[in-house]
Amino acid sequence: MDTFRDIFERGGEKNWKKIIDLVRTDCTDIEKMMKEMYLCEYSGGLFNGGAAQLERPNAFIIQQGRAAEAVLMEIVKKILSQRYPGKKFTIPSNGHFDTTEGNIKQMGSIPRNLFRKDLLFQVPEGGKYKKNPFKGDMDCAKLEELITKLGVENVPLVFTTITNNTVCGQAVSMKSIKETAKICEKYDIPLIFDVARWAENCYFIKKNEEGYENKSIAEIATEMFSYCDGFCMSAKKDGHSNMGGMLAFRDKGRFWRKFSDFNEDGSVKTDVGVLLKVKQISCYGNDSYGGMSGRDIMALCAGLYESCNFNYLDERVEQCNYLAEGFYKAGVKGVVLPAGGHGVYINMDTFFDNKRGHETFAGEGFSLELIRRYGIRVAELGDYSMEYDLKTPEQKEEVCNVVRFAINRSQLSKEHLDYVIAAVKALYEDRENIPNMRITWGHNLPMRHFHAFLEPYPNKPEEKKR
């Protein structure tokens, strides 16, 4: 917990306690350990400690991000259904990732993705922007319009995904985060971050947003997290760990007030943190012995500090830029520019010259042919995975029909990326022969892209155009 406090609350490296070093060096000074670690009391932030964490638990180490989301959504669903039986709610975001959207739908609510698609698919002259345009930003005008149209009582939470994985891994500006937080404060709605890529986003802010160029990644992270009421995290990304996740909310903050129950005298009747803790323990075990082993927790602590290293982040993002610009220079249409912080995305509508209908799931056909011909695995995050055919007309407008080339950290060489560029160029030149796909089983399953079966069928030039 103290590692999270160091990076997300203490305002930069100069204020870090880094008590992980006491553990790593096998400190035998019991008095020092008790004073600096075991008997420390923390409250009022995102990570209570000592008696406060027992009385008002607000931070939960869970083995995976989607498990953290599931715990959150299950308790939110239970509270809302008890208070408002049969009522359906809407939860907006700048871009819900697939599992977040799946968890929201399974709690009976409606996910909405509010971003600027016109800006997202804009191609800069020469394939490069001078500054990152923060295409992952929340469309704050749409957010406020949605809240006023539906009524604030029908929007229990607002999410912001950082970086915006569904919207092509694009960066989210501090300006947008602050504006979103201001709207949530105005309407008294808890703002929840989805922060699998928090460090990459801080890197983009440092490189591209005025006033942050001289701040460290940790300093930017502290400011960024100061605007949320809570967050879910998959720690396998910017936590540099093999496994890990976190759910946290601000002590006595907006989320706590909205979802706890109180007696007439103002005393707490039911603390939402206790409900979340019960759910965590019943499904995954407590923090210290649950879904994460002690080894994995230590690896996560070390990894969070590693993610604050600017040089590491710079090298990682430059690999993504190299691949995206390589596609562009090779003449592949549809590459989303600039690259995201963890991968490169190609717009399948543009790739196929807008000749494939939504029902063809051509992005899956692309994925199939890329691995069949060249041994390259990618993730379709478009019409098939995001369930275009099952959405309302408004939701359909919010789908990005893309395929993602995720770049593993510290693993791929320039030669790997050159091979990928050559393979995608060859596939683009033969795109008419890439098959379409149809679902043969599991069409309506929640998060069907993990379960459903598909089969290819030949593309026919006379097929109905979009």
Identify any residues that bridge with 246 across adjacent strands, giving them in sequence order: 61, 233
Q: Examine residue 463 and state whether it is found in any structural domain, yes or no.
A: no
Domain end: 254, 281, 306, which one? Answer: 306
Q: Examine residue 465 and state whether it is found in any structural domain, yes or no.
A: no
How far is it, in rounded angstroms, from Cα 239 to Cα 300? 6
Q: Examine residue 287 and state whether it is found in any structural domain, yes or no.
A: yes
How far, in Å, are 57, 89, 274 from residue 268 at the CA level?
13, 25, 11
- Are residues 369 and 282 part of one domain? no
- Are residues 453 and 334 part of one domain? yes
The b/e string for 426-455 (b: 16+ C-beta within 10 A; e otherwise) is: ebbeebeebbbbebeeeeeeebbbeeeebe
- Are residues 294 and 336 part of one domain? no
Please enumerate in sequence order all residues whose Cβ is within 8 A of that of 429, keeping only pairs 6 or more positions apart, or say none: none
How far is it, in rounded angstroms, from Cα 376 to Cα 367? 8
How far is it, in rounded angstroms, from Cα 200 to Cα 61? 22
The residue type of 16 is W
Domain count for the chain, please give it.
2
Record the tokens describing residue 74, joined without a space: 């299950």
How far is it, in rounded angstroms, from Cα 99 to Cα 11? 31
- Are residues 329 and 268 part of one domain? no
Residues composing the chain: 466
- Are residues 192 and 330 part of one domain? no
- Are residues 154 and 282 part of one domain? yes
User: What is the structure's pLDDT at 37?
Assistant: 78
How far is it, in rounded angstroms, from Cα 47 to Cα 2? 8
Q: Tally Cβ neighbours within 10 Å of residue 383.
A: 27
Record the tokens describing residue 419, joined without a space: 């091979």
How far is it, in rounded angstroms, from Cα 80 to Cα 91? 13
Q: Examine residue 15 and state whether it is found in any structural domain, yes or no.
A: yes
- Which residues of the chain, if any, have pLDDT below 70? 461-466
How far, in Å, are 329, 343, 375, 404, 410 from residue 370 at the CA level?
19, 16, 7, 12, 23
- Are residues 274 and 335 part of one domain? no
Record the tokens describing residue 123, joined without a space: 């191609």
- Are residues 422 and 287 part of one domain? no
- Are residues 350 and 226 part of one domain? no
Query: 231-268 pLDDT, tens per residue?
Result: 999 998 998 888 889 999 999 999 999 999 999 999 99
Domain end: 248, 275, 306, which one? Answer: 306
Query: 315-367 pLDDT, tens per residue?
Result: 999 999 999 999 999 999 999 999 999 999 999 999 999 999 999 999 999 99
Domain end: 251, 273, 306, which one? Answer: 306
- Are residues 389 and 363 part of one domain? yes
Q: Examine residue 173 and state whether it is found in any structural domain, yes or no.
A: yes
Report cis status (omega within 30 of 0) of the bond before 57. Answer: no
Which residue range is the domain that position 230 belongs to?
Answer: 2-306
Record the tokens describing residue 321, joined without a space: 């830029």
Q: Which of 251, 162, 248, 150 is nearest to 199 (CA)?
A: 162
- Are residues 231 and 365 part of one domain? no
The residue type of 292 is M
Q: Where are the alpha helices (DSSP H) in 112-164?
A: 117-120, 140-150
Q: Examine residue 464 and state whether it is found in any structural domain, yes or no.
A: no
CATH of the domain at 347: 3.90.1150.10
Q: Examine residue 260 and state whether it is found in any structural domain, yes or no.
A: yes
- Are residues 342 and 228 part of one domain? no
End-to-end Cα separation, the chain, in angstroms: 51
pTM of the model: 0.94
CATH of the domain at 65: 3.40.640.10
User: What is the structure's pLDDT at 460?
Assistant: 79
